[in-house]
Amino acid sequence: MQLMSLGWSPRFEASFAPFHARGLVPARVGREDRERWTVLGAFGERPAALAGRFRHEASSRADWPAVGDWVAVRIGSDRAVIHGVLPRAGAFTRKVAGETTEEQVVAANVDVVFLVAGLDGDFNPRRLERYAVAAWESGATPVLVLNKADLGEQVEERLAESEAAVPGVPVVAVSALERTGLDALAPWLEPGRTVALLGSSGAGKSTLANALLGEERQETGEVREDDSRGRHTTTRRELIALPGGALLIDTPGMRELQLWSGEESLAGAFPEIDALAADCRFRDCRHAGEPGCAVQVAVDSGALDADRFASWVKLQREVRWLETRQDARARSEELAKWKAITKSMKHHPKAHRWR
């Protein structure tokens, strides 16, 4: 197995130099499932585990290997041991479910994100905006793939709604089940390029993966008739080589996508609001009733869709709340670190004297 066929590049070669000196070899994470990994490299395919030191020194779970990561491994007789993760070229991340303020890496080193949405009863432009924010944050090129074109009765109308929801993002309508429209995805499926499939449960990601593979490899399932939602047929993240040489990361469907993003990503997903804000009277205008607000004028006149603005407001609040929680967590961790240092100095005063 050639590293170049797995997406290896001079950028990763340079980052790997310190690991090479330790006798380690490069590999790419091909599968992740409940703290179990499979890595791919010139040696072929191996199950992998984390080195104890790496596990201990990782500051958070986000530092652990994710599918798509390049890692430094030592090959044993029956498995590989992961000693380090190379700096990521980018990553699609989200906040973990629940109240915990922690980042979860869904897919790493992704070049293109196929945001898959079904043209059935589960179609939701507001959800598309949320996924677009996360895609811009990842650094990958987002492409909206409207699946189930064979079921949609108003395909052209849905296309127009989608283009308005994700301006600047290419929108493609396909039917993965009937394998029609797939040729339109070819420009983003070049050899060595990594493409991640992301979307809600029941959108048809696994069916699309099978269509691109040309074989029924990924398990698929039916969706509920009342709300067009599906169950999780893909339960693990996996890197799959396509016949044309591109690399595909299939991911489990998401019931919800809680953002782990900065305000810059909102500007990428809502460029028209960012452009209007430049004409507001006050540079720090929050578009919440301030005098001279160009954004509010556009909403009142109908030049800016009110629902889209409301979606921006909701996502803006979510991002700022997240930033507040992240700052609080950072302060807490810093305080805990200094408490540990102080405690250590009390117990071992001689070891901390200046020499």
Q: Give 82 or 351, the one with higher predicted confidence.
A: 82
Tell which CATH classification among 2.40.50.140, 2.40.128.50, 3.90.79.10, 1.10.287.10 matches the domain 3-85. Answer: 2.40.50.140
Q: Is the pLDDT of residue 27 over 80?
A: yes
Q: Which helix (H) or strand (E) holds 47?
A: strand 44-50
Q: How many CB atoms lie within 10 A of CB 272?
A: 18
CB 125 within 8 A of CB 135: no
DSSP letters, 302-337, are TSS-HHHHHHHHHHHHHHHHHHHHHHHHHHHHHHHH
Enter the pTM of the model: 0.75
**Please, which pLDDT band fits residue 38 given cuts at 50, 70 and 90?**
very high
Q: Where are the domains of the chain?
A: 3-85, 91-250
For residues 252 and 218, give the distance between their C-alpha atoms in angstroms, rounded to a whole number.
Answer: 11
For residues 286 and 290, give the distance between their C-alpha atoms in angstroms, rounded to a whole number.
Answer: 7
The values of phi and psi at residue 44, to 5°, are 105, -130
In this predicted structure, what is the pLDDT of residue 337? 52
Q: Is the pLDDT of residue 127 over 50?
A: yes
Q: Give 173 or 134, the one with higher predicted confidence.
A: 173
Q: How many CB atoms lie within 10 A of CB 103?
A: 16
CB 28 within 8 A of CB 71: yes
pLDDT in tens, 41-90: 999 999 999 999 999 998 888 899 999 999 999 998 889 999 999 999 98
The CATH class of 91-250 is alpha beta
Q: Which helix (H) or strand (E) holds 26?
A: strand 25-32
Q: Is the pLDDT of residue 231 over 50?
A: no
The values of phi and psi at residue 127, to 5°, are -65, -35
How far separated are the first and last CA of the chain, in Å rounded?
53
